[in-house]
Structure 1
Amino acid sequence: MRQSEPATYPSERRRRRRGLIAVGLAALFAVAVVTFVADRGALPTAADTAARTISEVQGTGAESPLVGSVVTVEGVVTADLRAGGFAGFYVQTAGSGGESDATPGASDAVFVYLGSGADPASTGATLGDLVRVTGPVSEHQGLTEITAATPGAIDVVPSGGVTPAATDLPDTAIDAEREALEGMLVHPAGTFRVSDSHELDQFGSLWLTAGPETPVTGTEQARPGPLAAAASEKNRARRLVLDDGSSARLNQGDEQPYFSGATVVRAGDTIVWPAQAWVLSYGFDDWRLQPATPIEVAGDPAPPTFAQTNPRPLGPPSVGGSVRAATFNVQNYFTTLSSDNPQARGAATPAQFRVQKSKIVSAINGLGADVVCLLEIENSIRLGEPIDTAVADLVGGLNAALGTPTWAFVPTPESLHDAAHTDFITTALIYKADAVTPVGPSVTRLPAAGLENTRAPIAQTFQMSDRTVTVVANHFKSKSGDGPDPSDGQGHSSAERVRQSRSLVALVGELQSASGSPDVLMLGDFNAYAEEDPILVLSEAGFVDLLHDLAPGEYTYLYDGEMGSLDHALATPSLAAAVSGAAVWSINSAEWAGRGYASGLADPASPFRSSDHDPVLVGISP
């Protein structure tokens, strides 16, 4: 029963897409618990009280047919969340549940709300007690409840009752199909995988997806429109939030209810359920599993464990070729500390920066690439430092780790030395000098009118053995923007990204003429999924989306519980014919953000969670 996370991810896309709403949502969450336990509005009253079964109160629809009535019900206390801040507990009809269902289509459990400020021990009722509850029926944020806030509204029945049994919750029961079990004891049956851990650090809740299929964002699978929307709606219907029974907001570094520093759990790993049952609840627009008591308050019930069905890769993928190129979003690599300059976007302290740098160095040196396109690296000139300060620092770290001057960087084109034409983050190209040789200076194309606030591409021609290849580093405008996302599912600023694609097509033609070679490789974060308009423009121009074609089912980014690829490697047809392979090195997107550089759980020597985007690797044959 927690509010959806205000999604304050540190990456450029997540920072800016939700940056404008993060403050509002943070403030909203600050009162969310108060809203849950206090703001029920005017409660209904009635002259007479009717004895009802809980199933009659629940009914067979999404809402109770008795809203506005005062009822008396009996049930066994199955989950007590008073100590967790939710001011109430769940009761279920004695003897109900299990394999038989005496009330098909109707739940036999309901939430009992005790009122704002209720003493956790005020009613005397405890787990396992049979209680008689009297109060008005209402719906609160989609959850049916009975308010028992007046003296004498709850009586413990001395004779007790038969303990309810848990009912199987199959992984095939999604969305509205769960309504008949609202508030009841359940035991998940089938496959439930971790789909997103981004709420864990703040709210103690973990997103799961029902069924074995990976949730893939709609516009990664289909063109924007009904088919893409249906795919995302299905993903949403399969979501199930594993909550911790508490309304307390966690701080970074707090002990988490489900993950620990000692055990690696990744998106795609499978839940191994303990023997005890959970209560199927609803709140803040999601179906939720609540423990019998808050996990952070009591040692029992025990949290589930996880089977590593999506284990960490042992090394980078094999893509063949004599030269390998990669794209890697380095998640705001800033040598300027954000504590020293509020316009910086990366590490806040020297200690954080050392961890960030060490992890990114480990990832790039471990990637096995000869040319790497970098995204979200500091544009030093915008912060009053010499041009290329940050990329030079990273190259220095790469070489220091190797013990030899292996890496070099492509200087930023002269036309981008004017800070007025640039963003606080930029693209960059680095390369191994013994593997490829730059030909001529780097090139860019300044944004056209109306695109002044977008990042310019940076291109460099290389001699790769017998092949002359021009590599273009791109970082398209993000999906952030004011108000709700556009209805086509492509996020804000799709038109601007389309214009950037068209500009890139024109630039590639110029680069081919200048180099005398048709071979061009476009790398980067295009902030567009495979079936969205900006990628369609490039595909219709004849470019080949290598990852989409050669590595189906591999994705670079996780957002709102859905996988997809914002990062692409597109090649001209002549170069695509020489590509030996393309793949994703899954070191970041599936990882818990709590292992990033700003956390005490970060491993400086590990490439895992060095960023929030996974690198893409491409092999090129002679």
Structure 2
Amino acid sequence: MPSKKSARLAALTVAAVCSAASTVALTSPAHADSVRIHDIQGSTRISPYAGEQVADVAGIVTGVRPYGSSRGFWIQDPNPDADPATSEGVFVFTGSAPTVAVGDSVLVSGTVSEYVPGGASSGNQSLTELTRPTTTVVSSGNAVPAAKVIDARSVPAAYSAEGDSAASGSINGLTLRPEKYALDYYESLEGENVQVADTRVVGATDPYTELWVTVKPWEHRNRRGGTVYGSYDSQNTGRLQIQSLGKAADFPKANVGDVLKGATTGPLDYTQFGGYTLVANQLGTLESAGLKRETTRKQSRGELAVATYNVENLDPSDTTFAEHAAAIVDNLRSPDIVSLEEIQDNNGRTNDGTVAADLTMQKLIDAIVAAGGPAYDWRSIDPVNNTDGGQPGGNIRQAFLFNPERVSFTDRAGGDATTAAGVTKVKGAAALTVSPGRIDPANEAWDDSRKPLAGEFVFRGRTVIVIANHFASKGGDQSLHAQYQPPTRSSETQRHLQAKSVNAFVKDILAVQKSADVVTLGDINDFEFSGTTELLEDGGALWSAIKSLPRSERYSYVYQGNAQTLDQILVSPSIRRSCDFEYDSVHINSEFNDQISDHDPQVLRFRP
């Protein structure tokens, strides 16, 4: 999914449109009857004072953020009210490095604002802030209000109430019920000093210096320590993002299954890409679980091994060729056929009209040989420049690697970026009119998206048709923690059209030869239980073989602490009915902080 990181980097450069603060040191408060923090926060997500000026809001500084585009500090009232729905903490946005310190007792005057990380179009919840502040330091060295403990008992099992239909499904106007809904519970603590203890990592440290933990150790746990997202009702309420107010260099490099031992304490923030986020003043000590990268077994002489692997925008300038080669040779045990997604052209993101990827492919093949693997051959089709999505100038596409000592490729001339592959009959069997070829490239389903690549292979005299896919990304979907509940998955519209297109092509194959062996695989960018997968499987033409695994094993990607399926291998009825196949999701990337791709490869072994 090439757009995720670029979108995030762009978002992180956008500064909030608020003015910097002025800080005045005094020895006594100006007004004793000023509005309190819990009054500002109120009992819904939107402050009853939003847009209004408030004066002399009292609190103790609990955290200071002197960096990034959201500089400021948190304050908390040490004298809470009796309403569990009203938070006692709030963020003060200064715009420049704050001059207050943790433990300062302050009075803040400013404007109450509702800031939506990512902008209103993101659908995210808003963060209540004090902006354009003037801060008076009353005293220093005060005790910080005791952190509220977030644990398995305190977080409700239900994730969220349904949004108000009169407000387009928004939960903003609903009275918080922190005893019933997890999102309400976290909102009731927004800005407060909170603590988690002895929490297991369910999302590895990422390049943005953050990780995910769970406070519910057994919530949909898998054998490697992750938390599985197994349905649209399985949001996993115990997940919480962790950032730090300390130096980035001191942040732990954690893998899934590791534990942050002891207390992790700090203010509870709300961020664009993580929702509720504990921004730590104090981090627990990382205890490694010793998670190892998986290795699948070698295929037997009579088994055909077919794999899919998203190599994340691979181009000749990358430094990861040796690592990808080692993964293919050592961890995947040199599959006979590998569908590669996100192969870029010969100069990567340089936007100069280059579309060929022969240098990219040859560099990978050479690295595989150097790693002790076979001398793979390859097939692909160059796209029309800048028409298939991904990084502008990168021209990502799918490509087939195949081991010519084990399989042969049936070349049929005529396939190009705009010619649609068809199905014909050759000697009583289904065959492609062009091989390699693209499926239905003029269909609107593939606008600004990667067109499927189809190819014919022969293994031990048996033809296998393989279709490599990279469906449209989830960019634009509302997050699980959005203000709209249930969130809208707008990106499904294109993937559903794509699934229908591929399904129709497979049905064409099966109409010619009912017993044809067809493997449809790749980065489907959707779950095994999704509507996209159902449309791919429509009429029994295909079946997602990851469903042959136990539910806790069904994942190829970890996002916001949820282990989930994006990469799939689907098979035609002849393969499924044989029951002579084996599926393996080979976890070498998604759970690790030093990943070379954000996707785990998938391998299917069967006897055609």
TM-score above 0.5, yes or no? yes
Whether contact under 8 Å (1:555, 1:565) holds in the other structure is yes
1:450 matched to 2:443: yes
Q: How does 1:475-490 map to 2 (within 5 A)?
A: 475-479=469-473, 487-488=488-489, 490=491
1:184 to 192, 217, 220: 192
Instruction: Give the C-alpha shift of residue 530 in structure 1.
Output: 1.9
1:568 matched to 2:542: no
Q: CA–CA distance in 2 between the matches of 1:23 and 1:148?
A: 26
Instruction: Give the C-alpha shift of residue 175 in structure 1.
Output: 1.9
Q: CA–CA distance in 1 between the matches of 2:571 and 2:531?
A: 17
1:470 matched to 2:456: no
- Report the counterpart of residue 357 of structure 1 in structure 2: 321
Please, which moves more after superposition, 580-589 or 542-551?
542-551
- Report the counterpart of residue 535 of structure 1 in structure 2: 533
> What is the aligned-residue identity percentage?
21
Q: How does 1:212-223 map to 2 (within 5 A)?
A: 212=217, 213=219, 221-222=230-231
1:371 to 321, 331, 337: 337
- Report the counterpart of residue 71 of structure 2 in structure 1: 86
- Report the counterpart of residue 313 of structure 1 in structure 2: 293
Whether contact under 8 Å (2:517, 2:574) holds in the other structure is yes
Secondary structure class of the residue paired with 2:529: coil
1:286 to 270, 275, 293: 275
Secondary structure class of the residue paired with 2:320: helix
Unaligned runs of 5+ in 1: 1-12, 40-46, 97-101, 223-227, 247-253, 293-300, 336-346, 348-352, 596-608
Q: CA–CA distance in 1 between the matches of 2:357 and 2:106?
A: 73
Q: How does 1:377-526 map to 2 (within 5 A)?
A: 377-378=343-344, 388-402=358-372, 406-412=374-380, 416=381, 424-438=395-409, 442-447=435-440, 449-451=442-444, 454-464=450-460, 468-479=462-473, 487-488=488-489, 490-506=491-507, 508-509=509-510, 512=513, 518-526=516-524
Instruction: Give the C-alpha shift of residue 361 in structure 1.
Output: 0.9
Q: How does 1:196-211 map to 2 (within 5 A)?
A: 197-198=205-206, 200-201=207-208, 204-211=209-216
Assess, with a 3 A threshold, how the Cα gap between structure 1 residues 30 and 145 changes in structure 2: closer, same or farther: closer
Length, aligned pairs only = 509
Assess, with a 3 A threshold, how the Cα gap between structure 1 residues 459 and 439 changes in structure 2: closer, same or farther: closer
1:133 to 86, 100, 107: 107
Whether contact under 8 Å (1:455, 1:475) holds in the other structure is yes
Instruction: Give the C-alpha shift of residue 390 in structure 1.
Output: 3.7
Instruction: Give the C-alpha shift of residue 74 in structure 1.
Output: 5.3
- Report the counterpart of residue 295 of structure 1 in structure 2: none
Cα shift readout 1:455-490 (whole Å, capped 9, x = no counterpart): 2422222224xx724041312442377898993455
Q: How does 1:217-232 map to 2 (within 5 A)?
A: 221-222=230-231, 228=232, 230-231=233-234
Whether contact under 8 Å (2:304, 2:336) holds in the other structure is yes
Secondary structure class of the residue paired with 2:516: coil
Quote the RMSD (CA, aligned, Å).
4.5
Q: CA–CA distance in 1 between the matches of 2:60 and 2:580?
A: 65
Instruction: Give the C-alpha shift of residue 240 in structure 1.
Output: 2.7
Q: CA–CA distance in 2 between the matches of 1:114 and 1:419?
A: 47
Whether contact under 8 Å (2:147, 2:194) holds in the other structure is yes
Instruction: Give the C-alpha shift of residue 258 in structure 1.
Output: 1.9
Instruction: Give the C-alpha shift of residue 582 in structure 1.
Output: 0.3
Secondary structure class of the residue paired with 1:541: helix
Cα shift readout 1:275-319 (whole Å, capped 9, x = no counterpart): 463223445583232334xxxxxxxx4x33334458233523678
Whether contact under 8 Å (1:583, 1:616) holds in the other structure is yes
- Report the counterpart of residue 15 of structure 2 in structure 1: 31
Q: CA–CA distance in 2 between the matches of 1:192 and 1:621?
A: 40
Assess, with a 3 A threshold, how the Cα gap between structure 1 residues 66 and 181 changes in structure 2: closer, same or farther: same
Instruction: Give the C-alpha shift of residue 189 in structure 1.
Output: 4.4
Residue identity in the other structure for 2:280: P
Whether contact under 8 Å (1:196, 1:560) holds in the other structure is no
Whether contact under 8 Å (2:310, 2:601) holds in the other structure is yes
TM-score by length of 1: 0.67
Secondary structure class of the residue paired with 2:456: strand
Instruction: Give the C-alpha shift of residue 167 in structure 1.
Output: 2.6
Unaligned runs of 5+ in 2: 23-29, 116-125, 156-181, 389-394, 413-434, 480-486
Whether contact under 8 Å (1:193, 1:269) holds in the other structure is yes
Q: CA–CA distance in 1 between the matches of 2:148 and 2:476?
A: 44
1:175 matched to 2:183: yes
Assess, with a 3 A threshold, how the Cα gap between structure 1 residues 215 and 59 changes in structure 2: closer, same or farther: farther
Cα shift readout 1:407-432 (whole Å, capped 9, x = no counterpart): 332545xxx57968995333333333
Whether contact under 8 Å (1:551, 1:583) holds in the other structure is no
Residue identity in the other structure for 2:285: T
Cα shift readout 1:382-404 (whole Å, capped 9, x = no counterpart): 966878554344323322332x7
Secondary structure class of the residue paired with 2:451: coil
Residue identity in the other structure for 1:545: S
Q: CA–CA distance in 1 between the matches of 2:474 and 2:584?
A: 27
- Report the counterpart of residue 329 of structure 1 in structure 2: 310
Q: CA–CA distance in 2 between the matches of 1:504 and 1:83?
A: 53
Secondary structure class of the residue paired with 2:2: helix
Instruction: Give the C-alpha shift of residue 586 in structure 1.
Output: 0.8
Q: CA–CA distance in 2 between the matches of 1:395 and 1:532?
A: 35
- Report the counterpart of residue 103 of structure 1 in structure 2: 82
Instruction: Give the C-alpha shift of residue 372 in structure 1.
Output: 1.9
Instruction: Give the C-alpha shift of residue 526 in structure 1.
Output: 2.9
Secondary structure class of the residue paired with 2:150: strand
Residue identity in the other structure for 1:459: G
Instruction: Give the C-alpha shift of residue 614 in structure 1.
Output: 1.2
Residue identity in the other structure for 2:309: F
Residue identity in the other structure for 2:195: H
Q: Which has the higher helix share?
A: 1
1:14 matched to 2:15: no
Q: CA–CA distance in 2 between the matches of 1:191 and 1:483?
A: 29
Q: CA–CA distance in 2 between the matches of 1:169 and 1:86?
A: 25
- Report the counterpart of residue 242 of structure 1 in structure 2: 242
Secondary structure class of the residue paired with 1:586: coil
